[in-house]
Amino acid sequence: MTTIKQRLMNLGKTIKDAAYWTTYYTVGFSSVNGLGNGLANYQQGKDFSDGFGEAYVNNFAPGLAINLLYPMAHNLMQKTDHYRLFANLFNVAVGAAFVGLHAHLGTENPLTAVLPSIGAGAVMTNAQVSQVQRTLEKRIQE
């Protein structure tokens, strides 16, 4: 009975972690993409809000789907000796894919929209790697 309870607890924690990190990355990337595109619009004499909204909306729905990969990928990468390196390379690959996606969806300034989010993604990814490493170190010390 306790093994079933433990498995259910582990499954619940996994789902909670996946939901947290998916929301974290989606809101973060969408906001920064909106900011990048909004500023590019503003510099071109166009409306900041239109640019922000365009990139935010174009990023949010696909971001929810793609960002579900982040927790799974991080779970695999944290088992390697090069977790931080692989996590950052994964971030760059996802950023490159989003440049193409934004161009395909018609974001007015796809590169300008996504470049800041790649930088923000690096900060967010390294924060997650550091948090996981601290958690693992605490478990080892217990």
Domain housing 48: 2-141
pLDDT higher at 9 or 103: 103
Tens-digit pLDDT profile for residues 36-53 = 889 999 999 999 999 999
Q: pLDDT at position 33, please?
A: 87
The highest-confidence range among 2-16, 18-32, 79-93, 104-118, by mean pLDDT, is 79-93
Residue 1 pLDDT > 70, yes or no? Answer: no
- CA nearest neighbour of 38 among 140, 100, 136, 113: 113
Which H, E and C letters describe 31-96, residue by residue? HHHHHHHHHHHHHCCCCHHHHHHHHHHHHHHHHHHHCCHHHHHHHHHCCCCCHHHHHHHHHHHHHH
Percent of the chain past pLDDT 70, that is, above it, reads 99
pLDDT (average), residues 55-73: 85
Maximal CA-CA distance, the chain: 66
Overall domain count for the chain: 1
d(CA 106, CA 102): 6
Q: pLDDT at position 52, please?
A: 93
- CA nearest neighbour of 84 among 119, 114, 123: 123
